[in-house]
Every structure is written in C-alpha cells, then in structure tokens.
Amino acid sequence: MDIGTITQKLLEGSVVSLEIFAVTLVGALILGLLLCFVRMSRFMILRIIAKIYISIMRGTPLMLQLFVVYFGPYYLFHIELSPSYKLIAVFIGFVLNYAAYFAEIYRSGIEGIPEGQYEAATILGYSKVQTFRYIIMPQVFKRIIPPVTNETITLIKDTSLAFTLAVAEMFTIAKQVAAADRTVTAFVIAGVIYYIFNLLVAGAFAKLEKKMSYYK
C-alpha cells in the first residue's frame, strides 16, 4: 500500500478521533466546572462525594474506565447494547475522566484568586453571582489556560485508547494497516498527524492566552 493511500485511510480515521476530541473537550469542560462547584460546596457530604469521584477518576487508568462504561450496563443490569454503543461508551468514559482533571484545574484557579478581590467587589456593591461572573471567572480563565492546554494535548494523544473498544479511530486503522503491510509506515504517518494537530491546538491556546493577557 503506497503512502498516499495509507495517509488517506488515516485521515478518514482521524475524523472519529476529532469527534472524540471535540465531544470530550466540550463535555469535560462543562462537567468539570459543575464538579468543581460541588467540590467547593459548603455541604460536606457533597464535597466528600466529589473528592472521592475525582480521586477515583484520576487514580485509575482511563482504559479501565472505558471497559467499565462499556461492559458495566450488561454485567450489572443485563442490558443488551448495540454495536453503536461502543463510540458512545468512549464519549462517556472520556468525558467522565477528563472532567475530574478539569475540575481540579478550575478549583486551583478559583482558590488562587486573592481574598481582596472578593472584599473589593463587596464594597463596590456586587452580589456574589456578579462577583463570580464579572470579576473572578475572567481571571480564572486566564490563569487556567496553560494547564488546560496541557490536558488538551494529552487528550489528543489519549484518543488512541478508543481502540480498546474496537472503535475505528486513526490509531486503530494505523494498527490494521501496519499489520497488513508489515511496515511501520502507518505508525509514522499517524505520529505526524497527531503532532501537527497538537501544534495547531497549542498555537490556538497560545493566541487565546495572549489575547487575554492583561499586559500589552
């Protein structure tokens, strides 16, 4: 199989990889923020539950979590699932996993804001909601861009773990082509595609960080 054909097949598989990336990034950022609020709740039981969840998600392999999400419904509830559930299971597993990491990133950003910011907002007559929306969160978003960038780059590479559920993303196709042709060419091309995608994402976040910079 020539390089052009291999590249075309890998690019077709990269569409699924991009779907996993996009769904995970959007879903995990939203769920992570909600989880962060629960983690910082005034209610101890909610804080404990969120802390345990985050600890489990960060302390166990993503691959294991994917297996639990995929096989869990059948072994626990005897629910027959269609083959299309494989991709849905990947979405769920990735979002649940990365939400835990983003929750801690959000929390570190919020807790890093000086108390004086809240006191000044109170003196100016801002409510708690207004303070959080207009004063705290803009600063938090700026602070968390570097760690979010790192997690996003890791996410790009982790999409290859979808092969554990036989989802035909780019890495899965690269393995199939390499096995059929008995050559590492497919892996090399896949590596280049991953690298280019990482460069684009890192560049986008760098521009965002520069745009949000307080100093010109």
Domain ranges, ordered by start, for the chain: 15-166
Which residue type occupies 45?
I
Query: Long-range contacts for 107-110 (Cβ within 8 Å, ≥24 apart)?
Result: 107/36, 107/39, 107/40, 108/144, 108/147, 109/139, 109/140, 109/141, 109/143, 109/144, 110/36, 110/40, 110/136, 110/140
pLDDT at 17: 93
pLDDT at 131: 86
Q: To which H or E segment does residue 30 belong?
A: helix 3-39
**How far, in Å, CA of 163 to CA of 67, rounded?**
11
pLDDT at 70: 93
What are the tokens at 183? 């050559």
pLDDT at 216: 47
Sign of the CA dihedral with 111 first, then 113, 116, and 118 last: negative
Distances (CA, A) of 47 to 173, 189, 198: 42, 45, 34
**How far, in Å, CA of 54 to CA of 211, rounded?**
31
Q: Spelled out in words, what is the top-level CATH class assigned to the domain 15-166? A: mainly alpha
- Report the candidate in 89, 101, 94 with the shortest Cα–Cα distance to residue 159: 94
Chunked mean pLDDT (size 10), the chain, 216 residues: 86 92 96 95 94 96 95 86 89 97 94 83 84 84 91 94 88 89 89 94 90 63
**How far, in Å, CA of 177 to CA of 2, rounded?**
11
pTM as predicted? 0.89
Task: Give me the half-sphere count of Cα atoms (radius 13 Å) on the Cβ side of residue 114.
Answer: 5
DSSP state of 160: G
pLDDT at 82: 83
pLDDT at 214: 56
Count of CB atoms situated within 10 Å of the CB of 1: 12
Interior CA angle at 97 toward 95 and 98, to 5°? 70
